[in-house]
A and B are shown apart, each in its own frame.
Chain A
Amino acid sequence: MIAIKDLHKSYKMGSNVLHVLKGINFNVEEGEMVAIMGSSGSGKSTLLNIVGMLDLLDTGSYTLDGVPIVNLNETKAAKYRNKFLGFIFQSFNLINYKTALENVALPLYYQRVPKKERDEKALQYLTKVGLANWATHLPSELSGGQKQRVAIARALAAQPKVLLADEPTGALDSTTSYEVMQLLQEINDEGKTLLVVTHEEDIANMCKRIVQLKDGIIIEDKKVNQVRASEYV
């Protein structure tokens, strides 16, 4: 599903160059659930953003679902993001003046799905994350866990190939975190590919594979026995 070869990325900071990713080789098969770990500043988010086409790589190659991601301009990147990728952020990033339903429907709006169909689908995904009754509520009326579930529904709505989650539980207490992880596991069980950036060991262990980043290179890449979040809930 994802094939990354010899990826380098650096940021220019005035006259300094900060070499963040120093040769990443990394493949993800369809249906995997990969945790990306590493200390702060090790480049986890940078890697995820390049996979998410929110940022551009300097050198190396990146292929998504057999499509080589080259010559990426913003318009093309936007179309790919819309079609292939779903994002889940630490801070949810819901649009505050839109209801839960409207937030979930937004990726479909950019796919030009007609309003009625859009709303039906959005409701379907809200039901999936257990928030059908909260469809007309604004984000400010939802708890953190509920917001993240809305965000997950939104990431799913466009039926992407890969879900990218950057510290999805970073802003949640442990009980809520496990609920969210349970939901992500269920989504993975249905065959969706997931990349989860996390600091937390227990969250990482709920994935099927853990990749350790340090100073811009992968120092460890191992399969793990998935801990089911339902055991904690």
Chain B
Amino acid sequence: MIFRRDTWSEILSSVTKNKARTTITVIGVLWGIFIYITLSGAAKGLDNGFERQFERVAMNSMFVWTQQTSVPYKGFKTGRFIQLKLNDVRTLKTKIPEIQYVAPRNAKGVFGGDAPTITKDLKHGKYNVYGDFPVVVKIATKDIYDGGRFLNEEDIKHDRKVCVIGERTQRELFNKNENPVGQFIKIDNSYFQVIGVHKFVQGGGFEDDGDIYIPFTTFRKLYNTGENVGWLAIAAYNDADVIEVEKKVKTVLKDIHSVAQEDERAIGSFNLGEIFNKVQGFSKGLTFLSLVVGIATIFAGVIGIGNILLISVKERTRELGVRRALGATPNEVKGQIILESVFLTLVSGVLGIILGALVLAGINAATQDVTDFPYTNPTVPIPYIVGALLIMIILGTLIGLIPAQRAVSIKPIDALREE
């Protein structure tokens, strides 16, 4: 019956005869599916946005730095300043197998202190300078423009005076169309050769598009930092529990530097994994919420369809009686009512999906250039749409059963007598 073209044209003719009623019926479900699509699309957009914010940084990474102690320990008074050392890296790696990468970092100009003056010919400005190992890119990706490269092991080994500059630095110190790679700039009083320009990316934490990276070893020489390390960037293996690793790192560092284990201040840390989990939880919650709200509205809409069909079946008692007098079996009558219900549900559903998609596309176009708001590519996964359509078919059938049953519960002779 479902596959007869006739069945559908019969249904089409009966649903199109009362346009006002059909329109009102359709709007109910249309609204529901529209809400569902736009909400879950928006949730997905936020989700994607957050993911983009974080994609530059290993999700299970953390930063660890030192501060002053707050608890006296082993004869040391409180207020002692702890200094991370290059050796700590090896100790951490051997003691905590969950750690994949450790990048010791130094910087000038970031956390207080004067940024170095950078000079190129007649132009100059103040930019943060980082002393880094190449491994740092494993933790926070750096995109380098074509023709350039990031620091490598050779640079470290030979304390090369090379640097990677930011695109803002390039814009401000170099002429337009001038290729900075291979040219020299002056950092404080030393000349460095530019080997690459890094692209600015959202979500790089405290780093920005003016930052300059030089080899850790060169930095050490330039600023006399010796074995000192400013802070550590640490990435755990993907399957590791970052919070656990963070605790272990602190324990080990407190051991090395004779800090009381209960000292909460001496060693500071920032755990990206934890933050990321929270954010992800938020967008998961949002997706769930939109699912619940959407399905509830679809439900309400379908119940509305059932209601209106029930009224329409009452109105059409006589017509259905005539059909039965002409030879429609109860199943054919029921089938017609149910298919009308499914048809109305589906049409409104598809319209709602189209409308929702249009709105999402609109939002997408409007937020295309917005980089400081985490919202990217708001899409509704196909399984969600298929799922919604399936739910609608099932609900439409179930709700159609009620008026359908009503339509055949009355004897044809009584139906024909109905005024």
Contact = CB atoms under 8 A, between A and B. Distances in A.
Given A93-B318, A95-B319, A79 B329 contact: yes
Contacts of B18: 97
Contacts of A26: none
Interface in A13-29: none
Contact of A81 (B9, B327, B411): B327
Contacts of A202: none
Contacts of B328: 78, 110
Interface in B316-352: 318-319, 321-332
B212 to A, nearest CB: 78
B416 interface: yes
B329 A111 contact: no
Contact of B327 (A49, A78, A89, A94): A78
A37 B324 CA distance: 26
A5 interface: no
Interface residues of B, number: 28
A109 interface: yes
A89 B322 CA distance: 10
Contacts of B331: 75
Contact of A74 (B9, B322, B408): B408
B94 interface: no
Interface in B8-36: 9-10, 13-14, 17-18
Category for how many chain A residues contact B: 20 to 34
A55 B332 CA distance: 19
B323 A106 contact: yes
Interface string A91-120: 001111110001000110111100100000
B413 interface: yes
**Most chain A beta-carbon contacts within 10 A, residue among B10, B321, B329, B416:** B329
17 contacts: A74-B324, A74-B330, A74-B408, A74-B412, A78-B328, A81-B325, A81-B326, A82-B326, A93-B318, A93-B322, A97-B18, A98-B13, A102-B13, A106-B323, A109-B10, A115-B9, A154-B326
Given A55-B411, A78-B332, A93-B321, 16 more contacts: A52-B325, A54-B325, A78-B324, A78-B330, A81-B325, A94-B322, A95-B322, A96-B319, A97-B13, A97-B18, A110-B326, A110-B328, A112-B4, A115-B9, A154-B326, A158-B327
